[in-house]
Amino acid sequence: MAASWWMIVPGNPALSGLIIFLIAMPFLYAARGPMHQIILATTQALAGPLRLASRWLMFTAREMRQRNLAVLMAHGREEATQAIEREFERVTKLVQRDLHGYPALQRKVMDEITRVEEDYQKCGEVPPPSPEWAKAIETIAGIKPSGDGLVEKLLEDISKSMDRIYDKALAQYRRSYEKRHKILKGFMPFWRSLDRTMSQVDRNLGGLQDSASKIDAQMDKYENIIAKSEKAETSLTSSAAVQFVIASAFLALLFGGAFVNFKLVALPMSEMVGGGDYITDNLQASEVAALVIILLEVSMGLFLMEALRMTHLFPRINNMNDRMRHRIMWSAIIFLFILAGVEVALAFMRDQIVASNLTLKQGLSDAPLVVAPPEAGAVSNIPMLGQMILGFILPWVLAFVGIPLEYFIYSARTVLGVLTVASVRGLAFILRLTGNIFRHIGSTLVHLYDAAIFLPLMIERVIKGKRGGQEAGNSAASVTSFRVRRTGTGEHIV
């Protein structure tokens, strides 16, 4: 009975609802204007703040992008400046090492060239002068043979003398050629020395040219960064993303090494600080002590990298003089060596503890003790030696955590900034879209309200149509009478 109090027709809720709707329709029609205003005002009250929040988020995203761009450009400018400085230092060292001796090298080259030219001039073949008696020989050679024995004897003597002279001239000519060949053979050391000298000059100039090309490339990059060009922004952002991925991978590897180191140290530390001591319900004092040792190793590694100026996480250390930096460097090395020795001792103790626990468990059980054969002693020492080697190496490996950590910090600033800007823009888009949806929902509700009261609206439209027709007829009649009056006065109206 309580649930059917509103039914006009008992047992028929659909007809009862239709009757109530028909009764309420005139009231809904009468409240049509205020309901439209309420619906539109409500949706506008929801859509306006959302659109305002979207606009504010977009403005915030632009400001964040500008700040990220400023930080990115500053970091890129610093890296480009350091790269340019390194290239200039390399060029300076190249000039000081190789090019400062160029005057002496030039004198050496000129001396060798001069000596080669002199020897070459000595190698020149000088034809011997024609003897004076050659004309006489030509005259005698023109004598016609006859039967005179004196003439034949004279010609025979002349021929023998010519043969001797020819042999002597040929031997002298051969000796001069041999002398020239020896001079040419003496060219080889000078040519080789000159070739080595010129090759060295070519290598030096090639290295200088490569350094100059790198400096030009870095200067172009620096100019793009100063101009804040889109190319520089894209290049630096992609470079930061790559560095972020690489640094994350190396930090994950170093974290794995730290975990292995922790497992290697935690068990023997329980014998030093007490295995039954707990700081909290689930945290043992030995685990905290092992973690402190690992953190000390990482800290000493950070100080060592800062003292070597391989990282720049602590500007105060980088700005110290060389004497203080060397002190910090040697102090960090000594502490790392001590901690590595401590881990070697703990690794040795760990093997002893494991063996003692195994012996204790076998003694408490009913099983007979298992005695290893003597030949298994060397094999059983291999795990202990491996643990000791790991205990000595892992602290030095963890000392290099500062390099990927620095790259991770600087690149994470850029990557997280880009992701934050993208997230803020996405949220602004969602809010703006939600605001537009609420605004269109208001228009949709207004149309739905009008569709619900369609019957009074149809009646209103019919009445307004008839009233509009009557008003149109009255206006047409008044215009016709006006025309008639004007015509009756004798005036013609077109």
pLDDT tens string 183-202? 666 656 666 766 677 776 67
Torsion, CA 200, CA 204, CA 209, CA 215, rounded to 10: 160
Instruction: Report, as an integer, the average pLDDT of 2-29.
Output: 72
The length of the chain in residues reads 494
Tell me, what's the pLDDT at 378?
47
Query: Which two tokens mark 106?
Result: 């030039």
pLDDT digits (tens, 9 = 90+) for 192-247: 766 677 776 677 667 767 777 777 777 777 777 777 777 777 788 888 888 889 99
* 393: pLDDT strictly greater than 60: yes
* 354: pLDDT strictly greater than 80: no
Q: Who contacts 438 (Cβ-Cβ below 8 Å, separation ≥6)?
A: 43, 46, 47, 50
* 427: pLDDT strictly greater than 90: yes
> Which pLDDT band holds residue 429 (cuts at 50, 70, 90)?
very high
| CB 32, CB 450: distance < 8 Å | yes
> Which pLDDT band holds residue 252 (cuts at 50, 70, 90)?
very high
Handedness of CA 185, 190, 191, 192 (dihedral sign): positive
Tell me, what's the pLDDT at 489?
42
| Number of neighbouring beta carbons within 10 Å of residue 150 | 8
| CB 55, CB 408: distance < 8 Å | no
Instruction: Report, as an integer, the average pLDDT of 340-362.
Output: 73
Tell me, what's the pLDDT at 487?
43
Tell me, what's the pLDDT at 426?
92
Tell me, what's the pLDDT at 413?
85
Handedness of CA 432, 434, 439, 443 (dihedral sign): positive
| Number of neighbouring beta carbons within 10 Å of residue 248 | 16
* 392: pLDDT strictly greater than 50: yes
pTM score, whole prediction: 0.60
Tell me, what's the pLDDT at 333?
92
Tell me, what's the pLDDT at 210?
75
Tell me, what's the pLDDT at 330?
92
Distances (CA, A) of 100 to 85, 96, 105, 207: 21, 5, 9, 15
| CB 399, CB 305: distance < 8 Å | yes
Handedness of CA 69, 218, 302, 268 (dihedral sign): positive
* Percentage of the chain modeled with pLDDT above 70: 65
What rounded mean pLDDT belongs to the chain? 75
Query: Which two tokens mark 179?
Result: 């002398």
Owner of token pair 């004007």: 486
| CB 398, CB 299: distance < 8 Å | no
Residue 374 DSSP one-character state: G
Q: Who contacts 83 (Cβ-Cβ below 8 Å, separation ≥6)?
A: 218
Tell me, what's the pLDDT at 439?
86
| CB 94, CB 208: distance < 8 Å | yes
| CB 272, CB 289: distance < 8 Å | yes
Instruction: Report, as an integer, the average pLDDT of 424-430.
Output: 92
Instruction: Report, as an integer, the average pLDDT of 307-319.
Output: 83
Tell me, what's the pLDDT at 103?
67
* 305: pLDDT strictly greater than 80: yes
CA 44/CA 440 separation, integer angstroms: 10
* 334: pLDDT strictly greater than 90: yes
